């Protein structure tokens, strides 16, 4: 992945999230100096298996599991300080040395208890099926210019006045919901006063630090969260998250120039999943969906919700390749399809009598979309031990070749299991 002209690489989900970004970041971090999160927050759940241990990272970049790799949380992330320190303490308890390796942007906005309260009580959040982590309300406060940033923890009077503003707005929202719960200035302040002494020492001007790392020749991974179809501009709005998940968001969310990014690796499953509500054109019916969910262990890493499952959607991934400028694809979970007699790839949607080969925008079109499938023979052999393309059965190679041609992007990696070594570099 890294060479003399490719040193800053963005890793982006090219479907609806949970594509296996954590696994790929962990594999690629072996040769990285820095791993930086650029958007989202604790709505993410990035799973990494090492030996018989499994880690689920929500706030901290997945590079933390490689000793010596430095990690940063960029300004574009909404940071839940409570979750952050729970996660840090769990890592330390598991023997991971976090000290001196994790930095947080002083400009990242904080997710506070009242953001989570609003998210959990809002009918709109329920309709979207959010993770309830306060992500939408925290980004709303950021855009409305009443957010609380990490650097505000340095100034106690300013902090109190910002928290008062935030709480007063949150309480107006809760009143409008007609619920009895209320946000509290005192409890928010006491949480922040308790966490500030741990948070302030790890704050940094992350944009500057990463700029300096890049100019001194470091290898940098920018770890996206969620997926391209959950991007607030480019996803299936309003069934999206509240940040720019696509590669364009990486420059803004780290604080570096777009021209500093050399490559964009799109992570995709060999099929499609979605957790939460909104269109999923290739969604399988109950029985086949259940089979894929069981084989792929498709349950949310953050909320435990069952993921909706469907065949690989070439229209979606080709679209994601365009909006992200993908230079390569990593196809994960190929092994999950090992037992299927036939596998299908969606190459277009029929809406009424019109065939869409480019992703349609109108939700009404998406909801009525009839996927057009190409059926291929399954390989019905285990791929779990394959370590090179030539180890893969012919039918699996054909399937991957077809993905490559539909998406018009070369496949750089194929993942055939959860373990670090279960990866094929193409």
Is residue 18 part of the contact set for Mg ion (CB under 5 A)?
yes
CB of 129 to ligand IMO, least distance (A): 5
Q: Which residues, 6+ apart, have CB-to-CB distance to 149 below 8 Å? A: 106, 107, 108, 109, 110
As measured in angstroms, the least distance from the Cβ of 120 to ligand GDP is 21
Find the part of the chain contacting ligand IMO (CB under 6 A) among 124-132, 166-174, 187-195, 368-376.
Answer: 124-132
User: Which listed range, 116-124, 372-380, 403-411, 413-421, lies at the site for ligand GDP (CB under 6 A)?
Assistant: 413-421
* Catalytic residue, candidates 18, 26, 80, 82: 18
Out of 33, 46, 66, 115, which one is annotated catalytic? 46
Q: How many residues bind Mg ion (CB under 5 A)?
A: 3
Task: Specify whether the CB–CB gap between 413 and 424 falls below 8 A.
Answer: yes
Q: Which two tokens stand for residue 383?
A: 């791929």
Residues shown for the chain: 426
The reply on whether position 229 binds ligand GDP by CB under 6 A is no
> Which DSSP category does 118 fall into?
H
What is the CB neighbour count within 10 angstroms for residue 5?
7
Considering only the stretches 140-148, 173-181, 232-240, 328-336, report the one whose residues sit in contact with ligand GDP under the rule CB under 6 A: 328-336
- In this structure, the strands spanning 53-57 and 102-105 are unpaired
Of positions 7, 23, 37, 293, contacts ligand GDP by CB under 6 A: 23
Q: 39-65 burial string, b = 16+ CB within 10 Å, else e?
A: bbbbbbbbbbbeeeeebebbbbbbbbb
Tell me if 276 contacts ligand IMO by CB under 6 A: yes
CA angle at residue 94 from 91 to 98, to 5 degrees? 40
* 129 in contact with ligand IMO (CB under 6 A): yes
What CA–CA distances, in Å, run from 114 to 90, 104, 127, 231, 323?
25, 22, 20, 24, 34
- Confirm if 224 and 231 have CB atoms less than 8 A apart: no
Residue 274 beta carbon to ligand GDP: minimum distance, rounded to whole angstroms: 12
225 binds Mg ion (CB under 5 A): no
**What is the size of the binding site for ligand GDP (CB under 6 A)?**
21
Contact residues toward ligand IMO (CB under 6 A) are 13, 17-18, 43-46, 128-131, 133, 135-136, 225-227, 230, 241-242, 275-276, 301
Residues belonging to the active site: 18, 46
Contact residues toward ligand GDP (CB under 6 A) are 13, 17-23, 45-47, 49, 301, 332-333, 335-336, 415-418
């Amino acid at each position: 992945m890294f060479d003399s002209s490719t040193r800053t690489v963005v890793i982006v989900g090219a479907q609806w999230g949970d594509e296996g970004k954590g696994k790929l970041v962990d594999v690629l971090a072996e040769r990285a100096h820095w791993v930086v999160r650029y958007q989202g927050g604790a709505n993410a759940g990035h799973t990494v298996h090492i030996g018989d241990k499994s880690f689920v990272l929500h706030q901290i970049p997945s590079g933390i599991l490689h000793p010596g790799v430095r990690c940063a949380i960029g300004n574009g992330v909404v940071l839940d300080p409570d979750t952050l320190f729970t996660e840090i303490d769990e890592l330390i308890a598991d023997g991971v040395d976090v000290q001196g390796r994790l930095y947080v942007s002083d400009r990242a906005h904080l997710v506070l208890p009242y953001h989570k309260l609003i998210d959990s009580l809002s009918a709109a959040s329920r309709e979207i099926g959010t993770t309830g982590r306060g992500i939408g309300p925290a980004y709303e406060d950021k855009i409305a210019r009443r957010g609380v940033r990490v650097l505000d923890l340095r100034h106690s009077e300013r902090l109190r006045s910002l928290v008062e503003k935030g709480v007063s707005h949150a309480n107006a929202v809760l009143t409008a919901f007609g619920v009895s719960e209320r946000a509290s200035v005192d409890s928010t302040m006491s949480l922040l006063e308790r966490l500030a002494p741990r948070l302030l020492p790890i704050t940094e001007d992350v944009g500057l630090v990463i700029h300096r790392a890049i100019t001194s020749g470091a290898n940098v991974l920018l770890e996206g969260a969620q997926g391209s179809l959950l991007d607030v501009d480019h996803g299936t709005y309003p069934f999206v998250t509240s940040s720019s998940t696509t590669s364009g968001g990486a420059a803004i969310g780290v604080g570096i120039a777009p021209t500093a990014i050399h490559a964009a690796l799109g992570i995709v499953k060999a099929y499609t999943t979605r957790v939460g509500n909104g269109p999923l054109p290739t969604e399988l019916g109950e029985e086949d969906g259940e089979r894929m969910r069981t084989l792929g262990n498709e349950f949310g890493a953050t909320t435990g919700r069952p993921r909706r499952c469907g065949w690989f959607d070439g229209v979606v991934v080709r679209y994601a390749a365009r909006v992200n400028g993908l230079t390569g694809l990593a196809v994960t979970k190929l092994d999950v399809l090992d037992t299927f007699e036939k596998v299908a790839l969606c190459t277009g949607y029929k809406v009424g009598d019109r065939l869409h080969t480019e992703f349609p925008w109108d939700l009404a079109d998406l909801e009525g979309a009839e996927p057009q499938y190409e059926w291929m023979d399954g390989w019905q052999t285990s791929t779990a031990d394959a370590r090179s393309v030539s180890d893969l059965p012919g039918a699996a190679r054909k399937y991957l070749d077809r993905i490559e041609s539909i998406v018009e992007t070369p496949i750089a990696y194929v993942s055939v299991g959860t373990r670090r070594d279960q990866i094929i570099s193409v």
